[in-house]
Amino acid sequence: MPSDRSGSDTESDKTVGEPSSGPLLTGMLEAVGFWERRGGGPMSGGIFVSYRKMHNGERRVHAQTIEAVVDRLQHHFGEEKVLVDMELEPGVHYPSKLRDWLRDCEVVLVVIHREWLDDLRARRGEKWDWARWEVETALAMGLHLVPVLLDNARLPGKEQLLAEDFPGLAELGTRQYWRIGFGSWKKELAELLRALEVRVATESMPAAERPEPRPRKHFWAEMAAAVATGLAAPWVLAHSPAGQNQPQEFLVALSIAMTVVLVVWLVVVAAYFALRRLYDRYDVLFAEAGPNSKITNGLLVVGIGLLLMVLGAALSYQAVVAVVLVVAAFAFARGHRWVEVRRRERWPYPHLELRSEAVRGVLGHAGRFVAERDLLTRVERDQVEFVLGQVEWARRRMDDLGRLGRWAWLRQAESLLPAAYVLVLATMAGSAVLAVAGGAVPSYGAFLAGSVVVALLCCPVTFELAFRLRRWQRRTVVADLPARVDRVRARLAEISIPPARAGVVEDR
């Protein structure tokens, strides 16, 4: 906005000398703690608003504008950050409260209306003109003072204030102002809030946890432990009471059982791979619906019910009860873990796992957060920006992981599934070797050979399908996220004030 005030724009701020206003300022600097404040005392980063909306018992026409400005300041920065005397509690000592606010504030906004200078003249003879005292004290303390001109009000120049015998206010005429005009006050006020953000302290965001994907530290130790356990388990089980009577038959049965486990894993992975697009669609729907979605809970209940129906026809009553207990224990463990994670990782989630459901989940949370609000505070805006930053980081890392080769992907697996798979495979191999060594070839050779062949076929196929599935998931999420992030950012821009660019202080 072009400058239309009198006085030089290039004059530097100077400490006001001894005023000639008598008791208005004499002794007040000590009461306010001026020298302590100048010596670098603690600051809250608050905004002190100096205004005048009454004169001779009559309310000025600009009073509602001042209230609207104060309300917007309080909403954006928080009521505790905006120091204004509009709603003081009964019995509060007014002078002491002003002194405390000026000592703790970082920015002083001086609201100037068209009759501001006329009101100043009319109250020249009064012993306590608090609006004048606030400005003189703020200037003497060296605070960052911003004159806010309402509509077509003008800022008196330094020479004019000196000529009017207001030496304590003279430096006000050298301060760069900010105008809030009729018809554009929302836009002008929003720009002022953005300019003030660099000076007003606010709640800091949590430190983002962004570890770089690395190969598992104990990958080879896990593999070695799985192989050793798998090879030793058949021998131990064969000499247990369950296998002592018929060790060969027991070993053959164990080898076939482990082969069945490998086949089941292959079927599950193949089913996920074949239905990956449907699975991805529901992943998006659940992320948008939220973790407390009734749809998710309903599908879980239906799934458990179908499982019990199938198992009830094939298993005994005791076995069904055992399955129910296992499912209940698993659900309890997962629920407990979910609660603990939410306790540690409250919004805005400093830790974000590099999984499609996790990344989409937090982005869905951000989308619901902005959709449910009409106007965001500064803290809420920063929270959403923090989450979007986490999502952008996760997208880049998932893009990197989607480019990994098969061996690198296996070593960077996020769980112990590779070790579990090797454990089952080693158990099957150990059972087959011990059975052959015990003379089971004539009777059970075909079963053992079939188990070995099936296991050898399952391994590469399962591994390849799992690798392709994970790579497809990551690439799909990477391609899907930008559009969803843009939608959240567009909504965020509609209901919040964008932050100023780093290192730029907007002033005029």
**52-98 per-position pLDDT tens digit:** 877 666 667 778 888 888 999 988 888 888 888 776 777 777 777 88
Strands 105-112 and 144-150: parallel
Read off φ and ψ for residue 58, nearest 5 degrees: -110, 140
Residue 96: per-residue pLDDT: 79
Q: Rounded mean pLDDT of 451-457?
A: 85
Kindly report, residue by residue over 101-138, the tens digit of the pLDDT: 888 888 999 999 988 998 888 888 777 888 898 999 89
CB burial string 108-117: b at 16+ within 10 A, e below: bbbbbbebbb
Residue 390, pLDDT above cutoff 90: yes
Residue 9: per-residue pLDDT: 33
Q: What percent of the chain is modeled with pLDDT above 70? A: 75
* Alpha-carbon dihedral 150, 153, 158, 159, rounded to 10 degrees: -170
Name which residue leads in pLDDT, 35 or 478: 478
The residue written with tokens 């600051």 in the block is 43
Confidence of residue 396 (pLDDT cuts 50, 70, 90): very high
The residue written with tokens 């899907």 in the block is 480
CA 341 to each of CA 50, 145, 206, 349, 397: distance values in angstroms, whole numbers, following the listed order: 46, 45, 15, 10, 22
Q: Rounded mean pLDDT of 26-55?
A: 55
Report whether 21 contacts 171 (CB < 8 A).
no
Name which residue leads in pLDDT, 309 or 387: 387
Name which residue leads in pLDDT, 315 or 437: 437
Kindly report, residue by residue over 162-177, the tens digit of the pLDDT: 999 899 999 999 999 9
Confidence of residue 23 (pLDDT cuts 50, 70, 90): very low
CB burial string 324-362: b at 16+ within 10 A, e below: eeeeeeeeeeeeeeeeeeeeeeebbbbebebbbeebbbb
Contacts of residue 216, defined as CB under 8 A and 6 or more positions apart, other chains included, come to 222, 411, 412, 413
Residue 496, pLDDT above cutoff 80: yes
Beta carbons within 10 angstroms of residue 316's beta carbon: 10
Report whether 128 contacts 69 (CB < 8 A).
no
Residue 322: per-residue pLDDT: 72
Which of 197, 258, 242 minimizes the C-alpha distance to 73?
Answer: 197
Kindly report, residue by residue over 310-348, the tens digit of the pLDDT: 666 666 666 667 767 776 776 666 655 555 555 444 577
Residue 183, pLDDT above cutoff 80: no
Q: Rounded mean pLDDT of 199-212?
A: 80
Confidence of residue 465 (pLDDT cuts 50, 70, 90): very high
Residue 18, pLDDT above cutoff 70: no
Residue 28, pLDDT above cutoff 80: no
Among 205-214, 222-231, 343-352, 378-387, whose mean pLDDT is lowest? 343-352
Alpha helices in 438-497 (DSSP H): 441-495
Among 38-47, 384-393, 465-474, whose mean pLDDT is lowest? 38-47
Residue 31, pLDDT above cutoff 50: no
Residue 26: per-residue pLDDT: 36
Residue 490, pLDDT above cutoff 60: yes
Mean residue pLDDT across the chain: 77
